[in-house]
Amino acid sequence: MPIRLRPDLAALPPYAPGTMPPVAINLAGNEVRAELPDSVLKAIGDAATRSGRYPDPTASALVARLAERLDVATRNVVVGCGSVTLCHQAVQATCAAGEEVLFPWVSFEAYPVIARIVGATPRPVPLAEDWSPDLPALLAAIGPATRVVFLCAPNNPTGARPGADALRDFLAAVPPSVLVIIDEAYREFAVGPDVPDGVALARELWRQGRDNVAVLRTFSKAHGLAGLRLGYLVGAETVTAALGRVQVPFGASTVAQAAALASLDAEDEVVDRCRTIVRERDRVRRLLVDAGYQVPPSHGNFLWLPIGARSARFAAHCRDHGIAVRAFGADGVRMTIGTTAENDAFVAAARTYGEQPV
């Protein structure tokens, strides 16, 4: 007799991260494959020699450093095995079966998956015309069963983001019992005078006695440490304590903690790396626009091609050219900014795509 599983398990759609076909150029995963500074590599090597011991379970040195940088107390920071794990903990800590997790859509594909794993109901809210989160529509969609709102800013996969004032107004209008998580995984690539600083906005609200806004950040993107799995959430103490209650112990490894600390020390290199990616992103966007594609301005390390029903065929065409990109149903295709040569190969493939691009 087979083991007994959760009755709804078979119906859970798996999270399918950009599949890794054996292609020469992988622009499917929103990774940053920059060379790490020597100081970070050395910290990784040193920490690896301590692999026989368990890591600091609360990542106290890293938490202290992050708290200092963000001008919050250490009790406002919680570290996890990638920010996706913290998304999971946030839903676990807030949602009973059938309660709702709201998010703009298209967005980070883990949000609905996590909601279902926990037994909550995912509630996607269509993006605005410009591919940014539709804040009025999100607000209108909040109902009595809503427990969490994920707001990915800049939004993966479309690259659009709300302005700081619009976000502030939105946060002020959300019912205080609903937790809003501003997912700033790509914040370091955002440009413009009104890039929101989620932590500053959250702090403003905490001072007014509101504890329902938290911010998620990660070392997987700008810091180039996706393989080590380290993210953090900045939230009011009620939120960080709640996440702590559903935490699996020792999620952040010794090596990940050490690498993150060293990468924070290597800030100049991180800033340079982001500047290079932003320059390259804007160059590639111009080339794609010149080739006839509509490409909304992006604030991430990726570009969005809203080519609708042709997305799967376009991705297959790229694969035929040895390039992996990510198709999102019948909405569009996301390409991650890679090296100049990789990006040029992508642009060349896009140019030869058989149909007239829209």
172-175: Cβ within 8 A, 24+ apart: 172/205, 173/139, 174/139, 174/142, 174/149, 174/212, 174/213, 175/142
Tell the smallest beta-carbon distance from residue 2 to ligand PMP (Å): 32
Site stretch for ligand PMP (CB under 6 A), options 76-84, 168-176, 290-298, 341-349: 76-84
Residues 206-225 contacting ligand PMP, CB under 6 A = 218, 220
Residues 6+ apart with CB under 8 A from 171: 180, 201, 202, 205, 213
Token pair in block for residue 276: 């290079």
Binding status of residue 76 toward ligand PMP by CB under 6 A:
no
Considering only 90, 95, 106, 108, the residue that binds ligand PMP (CB under 6 A) is 108
CA gap 63, 75 in Å, rounded: 9
146 or 218: CB nearest ligand PMP: 218
- 185 is an interface residue for ligand PMP by CB under 6 A: yes
Closer residue to ligand PMP (CB): 148 or 347: 148
- Of 226, 246, 287, 312, which lies in the binding site for ligand PMP, with binding defined by CB under 6 A? 226
- Gap between the Cα atoms of 309 and 17, Å rounded: 20
CA 289 to chain centre: 26
- Answer yes or no whether residue 82 interacts with ligand PMP by CB under 6 A: yes
89 binds ligand PMP (CB under 6 A): no
Least spacing, CB of residue 291 vs ligand PMP, in Å: 26
Number of residues that bind ligand PMP (CB under 6 A): 13
Tokens standing for residue 216: 């998620």
Residue 53's Cβ-count burial label (10 Å; 0-12, 13-18, 19+) is exposed
* 268: Cβ contacts below 8 Å, ≥ 6 apart: none
* Structural tokens at position 274: 């982001």
Q: What is the DSSP letter of 37?
A: P
Segment 230 to 289, residues that bind ligand PMP, using CB under 6 A = 231
Among 89, 94, 156, 247, binds ligand PMP (CB under 6 A): 156
Task: List all residues 6 or more positions away from 36 whose beta carbon is below 8 Å from its beta carbon.
Answer: 44, 224, 225, 263
Q: How far is the CB of 130 from ligand PMP (least distance, A)?
A: 18
Whole-number minimum distance, CB 82 to ligand PMP, in Å? 3
153 or 347: CB nearest ligand PMP: 153
Taking alpha carbons only, the member of 188, 221, 219, 187 closest to residue 30 is 221
Note whether 145 binds ligand PMP by CB under 6 A.
Answer: no
Tell me: does residue 84 bind ligand PMP (CB under 6 A).
yes
Binding track, positions 21-50, relative to ligand PMP; x by CB under 6 A: ---------x--------------------
Q: Which residues of the shown chain bind ligand PMP in the complex (CB under 6 A)?
A: 30, 82-84, 108, 152, 156, 183, 185, 218, 220, 226, 231
